[in-house]
């Protein structure tokens, strides 16, 4: 019996899934939290941690897409695909919005029915806002605290050839 790498339960038939880039062997209950990875095992005793003597066939476990029975590549979405990433400057955005509305931290806390100490910690960047606090702040100030539209590789277009990225292609100027 193998132990589920997510919940620790004993399972006779583990499923290999990928969660946030990590491949895990999990029980059937935890399999829904990731994308199932199709593996080709040469023996029933091999695991992802086993060492093989054939070093030339080592792929490093880098499987980018799984294939369906028809042979076409597909990717099953996992629970983190729909999650918006919090912007790195969320603390500055909140502080600027509060100051633009002429509110003190305690006034904002009263308006949102939150503790002033929590507002202070979030504005300092010591604490990430909970989902509910993020929604309250976004609605109250009509701002966005999300990092942006998805894949960071598509956020900018370079006019330089591949492999020739300049600092100007990456830097975001605050104007």
Q: Give residue-wise pLDDT tens across range 64-99.
A: 444 445 555 566 666 666 667 888 899 999 999 999
| 52 within a domain of the structure (yes/no) | no
| 48 within a domain of the structure (yes/no) | no
Percent of the chain at pLDDT exceeding 90: 27
Instruction: Please give the pLDDT value at position 78.
Output: 65
Give strand ranges (E) for the chain.
2-3, 10-11, 15-19, 22-26, 35-36, 66-67, 73-74
Percent of the chain at pLDDT exceeding 70: 63
For the chain, the C-alpha Rg in angstroms (whole number) is 23
3-24 confidence digits (pLDDT tens): 898 898 888 888 899 888 888 8
| 112 within a domain of the structure (yes/no) | yes
Instruction: Please give the pLDDT value at position 50.
Output: 47
Number of domains in the chain: 2
Looking at every residue in the chain, the average pLDDT score rounds to 76
Instruction: Please give the pLDDT value at position 31.
Output: 87
Residues 6+ apart with CB under 8 A from 24: 5, 6, 16, 17, 18, 34
Residue 159: pLDDT band (50, 70, 90) is low
Instruction: Please give the pLDDT value at position 66.
Output: 47
Residue 55: pLDDT band (50, 70, 90) is very low
Instruction: Please give the pLDDT value at position 156.
Output: 52
Residue 154: pLDDT band (50, 70, 90) is very low
Q: What is the CATH number of the domain that holds 118?
A: 1.10.260.40
Q: CA dist 161 to 34, 55, 91, 151, 166, Å?
A: 36, 35, 36, 20, 10
Residue 161: pLDDT band (50, 70, 90) is low
| 75 within a domain of the structure (yes/no) | no
Q: Domain containing 137: what range?
A: 90-141
Instruction: Please give the pLDDT value at position 120.
Output: 95
| 55 within a domain of the structure (yes/no) | no
C-alpha 82/C-alpha 8 separation (Å) is 27
């Amino acid at each position: 019996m193998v132990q589920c790498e997510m919940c620790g339960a004993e399972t006779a038939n583990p499923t290999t899934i990928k969660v946030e880039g990590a491949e895990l062997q999990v029980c059937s209950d935890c399999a829904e939290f990731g994308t199932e990875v199709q593996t080709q095992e040469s023996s029933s005793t091999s695991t992802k941690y086993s060492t093989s003597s054939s070093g030339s066939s080592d792929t490093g476990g880098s499987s980018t897409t799984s294939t369906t029975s028809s042979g076409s590549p597909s990717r099953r979405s996992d629970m983190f695909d729909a999650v918006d990433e919090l912007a790195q400057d969320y603390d500055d955005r909140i502080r600027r919005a509060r100051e633009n509305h002429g509110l003190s931290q305690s006034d904002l806390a009263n308006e949102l029915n939150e503790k002033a100490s929590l507002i202070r910690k979030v504005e300092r960047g010591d604490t990430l806002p909970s989902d509910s606090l993020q929604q309250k702040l976004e609605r109250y100030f009509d701002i966005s605290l999300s990092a942006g539209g998805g894949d960071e590789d598509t956020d900018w277009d370079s006019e330089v050839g591949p492999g020739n990225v300049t600092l100007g292609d990456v830097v975001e100027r605050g104007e």
